[in-house]
Chains A and B, each alone.
Chain A
Amino acid sequence: MCKVLPEKCGCDEGAVMKEFMTGNHAIAHAVKLCRTPLIAAYPITPQTPIYEKLSEWEASGVLKGIMMRTESEHSAMASCIAGSLTGVRTFTATSSQGLALMHEMLHFASGCRVPVVMANVNRILAAPWGFWADQTDSLSQRDTGWIQIYAENGQEALDTVIQAYKIAETVYLPTMVVIEAFFVSHFMETIDLPDQDAVDRFLPPLDLPHRFDMDKPGYLIPVVTQEWYREYKHRAFLAMDSVKEIAVKVDREYREEFGRGYGIIEPFMFDDAEVVLVTAGSITSTARVAIKSLREDGYKVGLLKIRLFRPFPYEAVRGALFGKKKAGVIDRNISIGSGGIFCQELRGALSGMSSNPLIYSYIAGIGGTDVDVEIIRKVAFDVMKRTEPHDEAIWVKEDF
């Protein structure tokens, strides 16, 4: 058992437990706090500790429910979809190859409009083989109709899983909570564990429509006409679009209850910044340190963290970057043939805006390579010295 240090948190909602744990275990705790009764999973590094921890709690009876130990991630997602359609809360976790194997079922889940919640621990996709942090696995799934939220650390991952259920169950869309391999999944930090009663208040017992009505039998997911297919997708699109507002609302409610909130984007030392760096995930934490040091050196540099990736928060990003001169996007991912994926999205969001900042794309941290404070400072200086548009991605390697 972890060491427990009870103390009072900012809100006056009773004792808050603090425990020292990994990002993976923080996610497992969140799933337990959400009283998720149906979990289906398959092992893959670096996600496996989530599966193991939840299995341990299922075996000891701490977690009331059923752990389905499936023979593949594909079947795990199939079982989550089926369980959700039957009307229970479901969870799975995966990484990399496992997520890629699930691809077919990811489209199926959003098409079935099931609020399945999944944790994905970003790991490189083979070939070649490796286990290291790289966001390309989840970003490759951006068109599957899943809500995607990128968490910076274990605490945010825990809080985001709880928020994810509330968002997913409001709009009936599946939600992926994403952390990076090892930097977050295995890194240990002190985590505030919310009080169970408070989580129960925040996330009342699930009341999903029972899609299998024994008294009024229907045929779910039939073959449909072209027009009906278009209608399904249009409705899912509108539901996804509404997440931009709902995620903000849920995050605000969460902050009121638990004293922590993150926003769908987070500006840092931003308002008077002339040059902005844009990050997502764990690089953000390092970037905070780099930005502070640049400020101490007298540079007007700010940071914009993107937390919600699907739906992409176009309006929020435009609002934040309006009037800024230049921005450099740091991507720990790559769309070969195009560039950094967050950068693509950002450029898409800003096109057509009357006062566009110049956007530069930096590929850094690919394959789990380290992105330290010095590298981020170098990126900032590179942005500062540039005056002309530059479309191509800039690879940040040893010779950068």
Chain B
Amino acid sequence: MDLPEEHPNLLRPGHSACAGCGLLITMKLVLQAMGPRTIVVVVPSCEAGSAGVYPNTCFAVPSFHSAFEIAAPTAAGISNALKIQGRTDIQALAFGGDGGTFDIGLSALSGVTKNNDDIIYVCLDNEGYMNTGIQVSSATPSFAWTGTTPAGNPGRKKHIMDIIAAHYNPYSATATIGFPRDLQRKITKAKGIRGTKFIHTLTPCPTGWRMPFDLSPDVSRLAVETNIFPLYEVEDGVRYTINHEPRRLPVEEYLFLQGRFKHLKKEEIQRIQKDADAEWDKLQYKAHRSTVNST
């Protein structure tokens, strides 16, 4: 069996990310599954901040540091140019942070997804503007501490997967480093599909989440097992498949490991639990409906 984890590592040593960075591990797993016939687009964020200062870089494939809000149209421009040149064996891969995806780049990503340009877009979601030093984004979860929400985030995390699914793009999926084979399988699958593929990855950030540096994989697994971040795929915006049956652990097990939630009151935790339960019910319904419709 061909396992992506046995492929060459295309993230070279020497990046400048924080110790235990979940985002860098995600990039490594993604690039390993993508292989060398890939052009990478990064934009201002932790991914570009840690990619190196001239003349050093950690990318072993051609890469381009584009502007903040345009990861998607940059990758689409590359992809269309490659098509014009007949070099269709090369794939354009865009990495966007949660700020670049949920906030400032949402309109550009929507435009590309609507046009179904042939790119793989990987959102590296560390739930805040971490590269500028931990500020709230619309991917920051309810009540979380950030530098600009010192009393806790009053808003709720934007449902980016639902937004992308509303474009009826051929393939979207969630993934996280705690489930590396699932993540690499999804990248491999996306490579085989033409059109806009969107992968939403949860990338634990020890610095911004206020937790010990060795906890990223554990926290990643707990995000899935508590239903904070379920693993699933969406095809054509309508067919939902749940990839992992969670243990449905209480959300506290995820929250209590992170300093950004240490101030939470009982009712706030209850609220997070209620939201996670409701989202899970909704997802199960969609997955069930997909099964019924396909039979």
- Whether a CB of chain B sits under 8 angstroms from the CB of A104 is yes
Q: A220 CA to B67 CA in the complex, in Å?
A: 12
Q: A79 CA to B51 CA in the complex, in Å?
A: 22
Q: B81 contacts A222, CB within 8 Å?
A: no
Question: Which one of A72, A81, A222 lies within 8 Å of B52 (CB-CB)?
Answer: A222
- Whether a CB of chain A sits under 8 angstroms from the CB of B90 is yes
Q: A82 contacts B53, CB within 8 Å?
A: no
Q: A82 contacts B76, CB within 8 Å?
A: yes
Q: A66 CA to B76 CA in the complex, in Å?
A: 11
- Whether a CB of chain A sits under 8 angstroms from the CB of B74 is yes
- Whether a CB of chain B sits under 8 angstroms from the CB of A168 is no
List residues of A (218-236) whose CB comes within 8 Å of B's CBs. Answer: 218-225, 228
Residues of chain B with a CB closer than 8 A to A70's CB: 73, 108, 111, 115
A195 to chain B, nearest CB (A): 24
Q: Hey, what's the 0/1 contact readout for B33-45 against A, CB within 8 Å counting as 1?
A: 0001101010000
For the residues of A in contact with B, the DSSP-based class is mixed
Question: Which one of A65, A85, A105, A225 lies within 8 Å of B67 (CB-CB)?
Answer: A105
Given contacts A88-B84, A219-B52, A223-B49, 9 further A-B contacts (CB under 8 A): A71-B111, A75-B70, A75-B73, A79-B73, A83-B80, A86-B39, A86-B82, A87-B85, A214-B90
A328 to chain B, nearest CB (A): 42
List residues of A (61-115) whose CB comes within 8 Å of B's CBs. Answer: 65-66, 68-72, 74-76, 78-88, 90, 104-105, 108
13 interchain pairs, CB-CB under 8 A: A37-B84, A66-B80, A69-B115, A75-B112, A78-B74, A79-B77, A81-B74, A83-B77, A86-B81, A104-B67, A211-B62, A217-B63, A221-B66
- Whether a CB of chain A sits under 8 angstroms from the CB of B59 is yes
List residues of A (133-158) whose CB comes within 8 Å of B's CBs. Answer: none
**Which of A72, A104, A219: most chain B CB closer than 10 A?**
A219
A58 to chain B, nearest CB (A): 12
- Whether a CB of chain A sits under 8 angstroms from the CB of B60 is yes
Residues of chain A with a CB closer than 8 A to B80's CB: 38, 66, 68, 79, 83
Given known contacts A83-B80, A212-B78, A220 and B62 CB-to-CB distance under 8 angstroms:
yes
Q: A214 CA to B63 CA in the complex, in Å?
A: 10
List residues of B (57-112) whose CB comes within 8 Å of A's CBs. Answer: 57, 59-67, 69-70, 72-78, 80-85, 90, 107-108, 110-112
Q: A147 CA to B18 CA in the complex, in Å?
A: 42
Q: A76 CA to B73 CA in the complex, in Å?
A: 8
Q: A123 CA to B175 CA in the complex, in Å?
A: 47
A130 to chain B, nearest CB (A): 26
- Whether a CB of chain A sits under 8 angstroms from the CB of B157 is no
A-side interface size class: 35 or more
A216 to chain B, nearest CB (A): 8
Q: A240 CA to B52 CA in the complex, in Å?
A: 30
Given known contacts A82-B75, A82-B77, A214-B37, A68 and B62 CB-to-CB distance under 8 angstroms:
no
A residues sitting closer than 8 Å to B (CB atoms) are 37-38, 40, 65-66, 68-72, 74-76, 78-88, 90, 104-105, 108, 211-214, 217-225, 228
- Whether a CB of chain A sits under 8 angstroms from the CB of B225 is no
Q: Hey, what's the 0/1 contact readout for B145-180 against A, CB within 8 Å counting as 1?
A: 000000000000000000000000000000000000
Query: What are the 10 A-B residue pairs with the smallest beta carbon separation, nearest first?
Result: A71-B111, A82-B77, A79-B77, A86-B81, A219-B57, A78-B70, A75-B73, A212-B62, A83-B81, A78-B73
Residues of chain B with a CB closer than 8 A to A217's CB: 59-63
B68 to chain A, nearest CB (A): 9
- Whether a CB of chain A sits under 8 angstroms from the CB of B191 is no
Q: A357 CA to B168 CA in the complex, in Å?
A: 65
Q: A69 CA to B67 CA in the complex, in Å?
A: 20
Q: B67 contacts A86, CB within 8 Å?
A: no
Residues of chain B with a CB closer than 8 A to A224's CB: 53-54
Residues of chain A with a CB closer than 8 A to B75's CB: 82
Given known contacts A37-B84, A75-B70, A86-B85, A81 and B62 CB-to-CB distance under 8 angstroms:
no
Q: A74 CA to B69 CA in the complex, in Å?
A: 9
- Whether a CB of chain A sits under 8 angstroms from the CB of B114 is yes
- Whether a CB of chain A sits under 8 angstroms from the CB of B117 is yes
List residues of B (89-144) whose CB comes within 8 Å of A's CBs. Answer: 90, 107-108, 110-112, 114-115, 117
B7 to chain A, nearest CB (A): 16
Q: B36 contacts A78, CB within 8 Å?
A: no
B residues sitting closer than 8 Å to A (CB atoms) are 36-37, 39, 41, 48-49, 51-55, 57, 59-67, 69-70, 72-78, 80-85, 90, 107-108, 110-112, 114-115, 117
Given known contacts A74-B108, A81-B74, A221 and B65 CB-to-CB distance under 8 angstroms:
yes
Residues of chain B with a CB closer than 8 A to A90's CB: 77
Residues of chain B with a CB closer than 8 A to A212's CB: 39, 62, 64, 78
Q: A319 CA to B37 CA in the complex, in Å?
A: 55
B6 to chain A, nearest CB (A): 21
Residues of chain B with a CB closer than 8 A to A81's CB: 66, 74, 77
B65 to chain A, nearest CB (A): 5
Q: A74 CA to B72 CA in the complex, in Å?
A: 12
Q: A218 CA to B83 CA in the complex, in Å?
A: 21
Given known contacts A68-B80, A222-B52, A213 and B108 CB-to-CB distance under 8 angstroms:
no
Residues of chain A with a CB closer than 8 A to B77's CB: 38, 40, 68, 78-83, 86, 90
**Which of B61, B82, B111, B112: most chain A CB closer than 10 A?**
B111
Q: A78 contacts B67, CB within 8 Å?
A: yes
Q: A60 CA to B76 CA in the complex, in Å?
A: 23
Question: Which one of A83, A214, A219 lies within 8 Å of B78 (CB-CB)?
Answer: A83
Q: A154 CA to B244 CA in the complex, in Å?
A: 62
Given known contacts A72-B108, A223-B54, A86 and B59 CB-to-CB distance under 8 angstroms:
no
B27 to chain A, nearest CB (A): 13
Q: B84 contacts A38, CB within 8 Å?
A: yes
Q: A87 CA to B85 CA in the complex, in Å?
A: 8
Q: A9 CA to B57 CA in the complex, in Å?
A: 56
Q: A38 contacts B81, CB within 8 Å?
A: yes
Question: Which one of A40, A69, A75, A220 lies within 8 Å of B64 (CB-CB)?
Answer: A220
Q: A382 CA to B67 CA in the complex, in Å?
A: 49
Q: A68 CA to B78 CA in the complex, in Å?
A: 12
Q: A335 CA to B91 CA in the complex, in Å?
A: 46
A376 to chain B, nearest CB (A): 43
